[in-house]
């Protein structure tokens, strides 16, 4: 099944992870920019399909900022009552079960924004979901995929008889077998490091999307390819699946002026540091970058300066 | 003087007689000749066999039959499907390749090669006789004589042609092939050949048989073999119908009954003719968009039906076995096949959980309770494959399981002595007490 337990929302509130929230806002910014610049893309008429979890954070954002009202929340964990209880809007439709079970009945006429926001490592099942989505979504649709890209060994390969090095080799072999057709060479140990695993997964996902689109005589324009870590390291890729004309219109739009939008294969880090209120305010006042007055990794500070507009602010509220 | 500028490119007869017959089996050659008969029936009676699946109430063939007679030295295929007109015979039926659009709409003849190739594959002397309402003809082909005539003269001649003076009793076509090739004689003499051929016909022409066409081999009738799928309140097979250009595409996917021991796969039809039989290869996406085929998927039944009035738009190969994978149409269908099949495969994977449980998973329970339904009776509404396991899972959780283990008598007696509540208890009660005690200690109160 695509969405295996344990779900990360059981550990902490989804909305409170700053990098995750930055990512959501980047996606909103990309879509919003295209919506303004490309008249053919009328996003308010789109359908949104996502994995809301009981927090529905993405659903709330996509509705409030993009005015989308046709929404389907796919939930693989058997918590139907909890999902229904927490639904923020009446118009959200719930589909209980794996995404692969929902896909055959997806509306083929309405362009979609689909976010396959997994919290597990890329697997053959995820790839099938991606391929399936690319097979049926109408041109003009957006597909985003997020997977865990931490250094891990698939559960069934994590056996005590094998040493850590052997397990890494086993993982490389498994990935070569499962993703091989989307890679130009077999997966090696160096592809599985913390630094390189996001690139591996992003490459495989992008190649799968491109191949499926090509078979339908459609194209794919990558808009997002980022990595971050609030806890586990994650990688997200996504973009527009469309006709030549749609892709050309998107290419001419100002979306490519956004610094985090790029066609490159290497995921851009959007990790932002957890900051105190004072630190955040100081950094925002000193965007040009004088010497820091407190201990903070320089790269993190730089990342914050690029992404401060998307940085979430949390305060306690008594409801 | 300028030298002769010609570079020879004309075809040779031996290419047709000896080369392109090599990729063909004897069964396939016989099916090619059957296609010819069925084509005539489709043309005369305007029957669309896709309706067997699409509406469940097809327009049926009326008194249409094809009889295949196999003897030691002779093959005969005789039908009463309406016959070939003299004009068709004169201008197209015997030509190599079809210069014009195929005449039968929604039929089976595509490339204008099948029948001639079948003749050459099977024997060296062929007699084709045909009779329509108004006219009749006979063509006799002595293949060796024709070949020796050289590569300039490709035509055949009528041995007999004319109009009926009165309404004929028989309207159909009879093909008699003799001077059979040695490999053909070998195949025909094998005990299993008739059985194999009948099995082939029963699946390849299942929809024609369902629609009332009668086909027999040595007087033994072929009986339609269509896979069955399970359907129940908790289980709905997938069904999706859509168009690609002028081609009507119907896809169904589901699960075969537990009692069905046959290992299934994808069945692909073009205008009613099966071109892939229980395919488990990359051609239908296994190991590409779908996981590699595995025995645990043996109960997966997938059905793809292509229909077009213009036979040239369908993805069939010249042998009518397999499909043209590269075709745009087939790729579009393949994408949809993968999406529809996935939930079925997820379900079948759930039948074999990693751990062995006493009562089996909910999937198995649903599968046992669902009823088999013939493909033609699968509900004719659009649906994806749906299974409701929730009820099964709930009841499964409330069910009890017996745990059995043994311990030394002296230890049990010791325990009974220490726990006042167990003093007079039987061993079974001691075990239950131990479990409840552990549950409370480790998990606390509910």
For residue B2, which phi and psi values (nearest 5 degrees)?
-75, 135
Tell me, yes or no, if B378 comes closer than 8 A to chain A by beta carbon: no
Buried b (16+ CB within 10 A) or exposed e, B123-134: bbbbebbbbbee
Residues with Cβ < 8 Å from A161, sequence gap 6 or more? none
The DSSP symbol for B222 reads: P
Rounded Cα gap, residues B435 and B174, in angstroms = 80
Q: What does the pLDDT read at residue A1?
A: 38
Q: Which residues on A lie below 8 Å from B338 (Cβ)? A: 128, 131-132, 135
Rounded Cα gap, residues A301 and A314, in angstroms = 19
List, in sequence order, every residue forming a beta bridge with B304; answer none if it has no partner. Answer: B251, B268
Tell me, yes or no, if A101 comes closer than 8 A to chain B by beta carbon: yes
| Contact call for residues A23 and A58 (beta carbons, < 8 A) | no
Q: What does the pLDDT read at residue A3?
A: 41
Query: What is the mean predicted confidence (pLDDT) over B369-386?
Result: 80
List, in sequence order, every residue forming a beta bridge with A170; answer none if it has no partner. Answer: none
| Contact call for residues B257 and B251 (beta carbons, < 8 A) | no
List, for residues B213-262, the tens digit of each pLDDT value.
Answer: 999 999 999 999 888 888 877 888 999 999 999 999 999 999 999 888 88
Of B224, B225, B227, B222, the closest CA to residue B197 belongs to B222
Q: What does the pLDDT read at residue B101?
A: 66
List, in sequence order, every residue forming a beta bridge with B244; answer none if it has no partner. Answer: B247
Q: What does the pLDDT read at residue B281?
A: 95
Tell me, yes or no, if B346 comes closer than 8 A to chain A by beta carbon: yes
What are the Cα distances from residue A122, in Å, to A73, A129, A249, B178, B218? 21, 11, 31, 62, 58
Rounded Cα gap, residues A189 and A165, in angstroms = 9
Residues A140, A144, A147: CA angle, nearest 5 degrees: 160
H or E segment at B393? Answer: helix B390-398
| Contact call for residues B263 and B314 (beta carbons, < 8 A) | no
B394 falls in which pLDDT band (50, 70, 90)?
low
Tell me, yes or no, if B374 comes closer than 8 A to chain A by beta carbon: no
**What is the end-to-end Cα distance of chain A in Å, rounded?**
37
List, in sequence order, every residue forming a beta bridge with A146; answer none if it has no partner. Answer: A117, A236
| Contact call for residues B342 and A100 (beta carbons, < 8 A) | yes
Q: What does the pLDDT read at residue B102?
A: 66
Q: How many CB pairs under 8 A join A and B?
A: 54
DSSP assignment of A152-178, as one string? ---GGG--TTS-HHHHHHHHHHHHHHH
Of B17, B207, B37, B205, the closest CA to residue B119 belongs to B17
Q: Which residues on B lie below 8 Å from A104 (Cβ)? A: 238, 240, 339-340, 342-343, 384-385
Rounded Cα gap, residues B132 and B163, in angstroms = 9
Rounded Cα gap, residues A5 and A307, in angstroms = 32
What chain B residue is nearest to A98 in terms of C-alpha separation?
A: B343
> Is it true that the peptide bond before B106 is cis, omega within 30 degrees of 0?
no
Q: What does the pLDDT read at residue A88?
A: 95
| Contact call for residues B337 and B285 (beta carbons, < 8 A) | yes
Rounded Cα gap, residues A69 and A249, in angstroms = 25
| Contact call for residues B249 and B305 (beta carbons, < 8 A) | yes
Q: What does the pLDDT read at residue A137?
A: 96
List, in sequence order, every residue forming a beta bridge with A237; answer none if it has no partner. Answer: A145, A225
What chain A residue is nearest to B288 in terms of C-alpha separation?
A: A181
With 70 as the cut, is the pLDDT of residue B271 above it?
A: yes
Contact B346 A101 (CB under 8 A): yes
| Contact call for residues B23 and B322 (beta carbons, < 8 A) | no
DSSP assignment of B314-346, as one string? S-B-TTSSSB-TTSHHHHHHHHHHHHHHHHHHH
Q: Is B89 helix (H, G, I), strand (E, B) or coil?
A: helix
Contact B289 A216 (CB under 8 A): no
List, in sequence order, every residue forming a beta bridge with B242; answer none if it has no partner. Answer: B249
Residues with Cβ < 8 Å from A62, sequence gap 6 or more? A28, A48, A50, A68, A71, A113
List, for residues B310-329, the tens digit of each pLDDT value.
Answer: 888 999 888 888 999 999 99
Low-confidence spans in chain A with pLDDT less than 70: 1-15
Q: How many other C-beta atoms lie within 10 A of the C-beta of residue A236?
A: 27
Contact B342 A100 (CB under 8 A): yes
Q: What does the pLDDT read at residue B34?
A: 95
Residues with Cβ < 8 Å from A223, sequence gap 6 or more? A30, A142, A238, A239, A240, A250, A255, A261
Of B135, B328, B373, B105, the closest CA to residue B232 belongs to B373
With 70 as the cut, is the pLDDT of residue B392 above it?
A: no
With 50 as the cut, is the pLDDT of residue B275 above it?
A: yes
With 90 as the cut, is the pLDDT of residue B18 above it?
A: no
Rounded Cα gap, residues B391 and B398, in angstroms = 11
List, for residues B45-94, the tens digit of each pLDDT value.
Answer: 988 888 888 776 778 899 999 999 999 899 999 999 999 999 989 988 89
Rounded Cα gap, residues A238 and B117, in angstroms = 52
Q: Please give the biggest Cα pair distance in chain B.
A: 127
| Contact call for residues A82 and A54 (beta carbons, < 8 A) | yes
Tell me the angle at which helices B362-369 and B390-398 cross, rounded to the nearest 10 degrees.
Answer: 120
- Mutation site for A-interface testing, chosen from B285, B346, B387 by largest number of A Cβ within 10 Å: B346
| Contact call for residues B131 and B169 (beta carbons, < 8 A) | no
Tell me, yes or no, if A137 comes closer than 8 A to chain B by beta carbon: no
H or E segment at B249? Answer: strand B247-255
B388 falls in which pLDDT band (50, 70, 90)?
confident
DSSP H stretches of helix in A78-144: 80-86, 99-102, 124-136
B110 falls in which pLDDT band (50, 70, 90)?
confident
List, in sequence order, every residue forming a beta bridge with B141; answer none if it has no partner. Answer: B126
Contact A124 B338 (CB under 8 A): no
- Closest-CA distance, B297 to chain A, in angstroms, reads 16
What are the Cα distances from residue A95, in Å, to A21, B354, B439, B444? 24, 26, 35, 34
The DSSP symbol for A103 reads: G
Q: What does the pLDDT read at residue A245?
A: 95
B395 falls in which pLDDT band (50, 70, 90)?
low
| Contact call for residues B346 and B290 (beta carbons, < 8 A) | no
- Contacts with B, A 163-202, CB within 8 Å: 181
> Is it true that the peptide bond before A6 is cis, omega within 30 degrees of 0?
yes
């Amino acid at each position: 099944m695509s969405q295996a337990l344990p779900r990360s929302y059981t550990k902490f509130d989804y909305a409170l992870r700053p990098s995750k929230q930055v990512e959501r806002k980047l996606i909103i910014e990309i879509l919003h920019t295209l919506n303004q610049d490309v008249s053919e893309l009328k996003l308010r008429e789109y359908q949104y399909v996502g994995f809301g979890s009981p927090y529905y954070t993405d659903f709330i954002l996509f509705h409030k900022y993009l005015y989308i009202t046709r929404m389907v929340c796919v939930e693989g964990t058997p918590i139907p009552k909890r999902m229904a209880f927490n639904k923020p809007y009446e118009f959200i439709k719930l589909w209980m079960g794996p995404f692969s079970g929902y896909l055959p009945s997806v509306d083929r006429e309405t362009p979609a924004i689909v976010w396959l926001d997994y919290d597990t490592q890329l697997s053959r099942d995820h790839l099938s979901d991606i391929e399936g989505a690319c097979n049926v979504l109408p041109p003009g649709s957006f597909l985003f995929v997020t997977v865990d890209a931490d250094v891990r060994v698939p559960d069934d390969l994590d056996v005590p008889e094998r040493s850590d090095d052997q397990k890494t080799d086993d993982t490389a072999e498994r990935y070569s077998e499962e993703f091989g057709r989307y890679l130009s060479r077999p997966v090696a140990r160096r592809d599985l490091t913390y630094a390189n695993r996001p690139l591996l997964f992003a490459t495989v996902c992008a190649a799968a999307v491109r191949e499926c689109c090509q078979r339908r005589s459609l194209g794919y324009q990558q808009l997002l390819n980022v990595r971050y870590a609030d806890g586990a390291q994650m990688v997200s890729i996504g973009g527009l699946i469309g006709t030549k004309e749609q892709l050309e219109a998107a290419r001419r739009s100002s979306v490519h002026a956004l610094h985090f939008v790029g066609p490159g294969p290497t995921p851009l880090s959007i990790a932002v540091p957890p900051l105190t209120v004072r630190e955040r305010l100081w950094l925002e006042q000193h965007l040009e970058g004088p010497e820091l007055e407190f201990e903070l990794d320089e790269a993190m500070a730089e990342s914050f300066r690029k992404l401060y507009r998307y940085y979430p602010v949390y305060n306690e509220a008594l409801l | 003087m300028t030298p002769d500028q010609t570079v020879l490119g004309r075809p040779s007869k031996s290419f047709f007689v000896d080369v392109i017959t090599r990729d063909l089996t004897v069964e396939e050659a016989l099916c090619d000749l059957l296609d010819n008969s069925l084509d005539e029936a489709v043309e005369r009676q305007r029957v669309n066999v896709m309706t067997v699946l699409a509406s469940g109430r097809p327009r049926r063939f009326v008194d249409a039959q094809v009889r295949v007679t196999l003897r030691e030295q002779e093959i005969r295929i005789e039908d009463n499907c309406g016959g070939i007109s003299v004009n068709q015979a004169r201008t197209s039926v015997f030509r190599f390749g079809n210069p014009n659009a195929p005449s039968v709409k929604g039929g089976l003849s595509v490339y204008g090669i099948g029948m001639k190739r079948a003749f050459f594959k099977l024997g060296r002397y062929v007699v084709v006789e045909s009779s329509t309402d108004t006219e009749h003809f006979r063509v006799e082909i002595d293949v060796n004589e024709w070949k020796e005539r050289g590569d300039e003269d490709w035509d055949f001649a009528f041995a007999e042609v004319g109009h009926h003076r009165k309404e004929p009793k028989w309207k159909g076509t009879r093909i008699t092939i003799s001077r059979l090739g040695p490999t053909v004689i070998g195949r025909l003499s094998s005990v299993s050949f008739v059985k194999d051929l009948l099995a082939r016909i029963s699946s390849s022409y299942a929809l024609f048989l369902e629609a009332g066409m009668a086909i027999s081999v040595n007087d033994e009738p072929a009986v339609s073999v269509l896979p069955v799928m399970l359907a129940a309140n908790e289980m709905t097979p997938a069904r999706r119908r859509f168009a690609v250009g002028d081609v009507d595409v119907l896809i169904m996917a589901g699960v075969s009954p537990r009692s069905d021991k046959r290992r299934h796969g994808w069945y692909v039809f073009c205008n009613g003719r099966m071109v892939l039989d229980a395919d488990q290869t990359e051609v239908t996406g296994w190991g590409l968009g779908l996981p590699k085929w595995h025995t645990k998927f043996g109960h997966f039944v997938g059905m793809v039906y292509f229909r077009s009035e213009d036979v040239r738009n369908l993805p069939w190969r010249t042998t009518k076995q397999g499909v043209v994978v590269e075709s745009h149409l087939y790729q579009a269908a393949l994408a949809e096949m993968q999406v529809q099949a996935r939930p079925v495969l997820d379900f079948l994977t759930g039948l074999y959980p990693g751990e062995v449980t006493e009562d089996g998973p909910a999937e198995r329970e649903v599968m046992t309770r669902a009823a088999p339904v013939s493909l033609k009776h699968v509900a004719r509404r659009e649906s994806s494959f749906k299974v409701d396991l929730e009820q099964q899972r709930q009841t499964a959780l409330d069910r009890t399981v017996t745990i059995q283990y043994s311990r030394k008598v002296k230890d049990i007696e010791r325990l009974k002595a220490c726990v006042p509540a167990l003093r007079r208890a039987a061993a079974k009660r001691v075990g239950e007490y131990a479990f409840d005690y552990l549950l409370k200690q480790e998990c606390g109160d509910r």
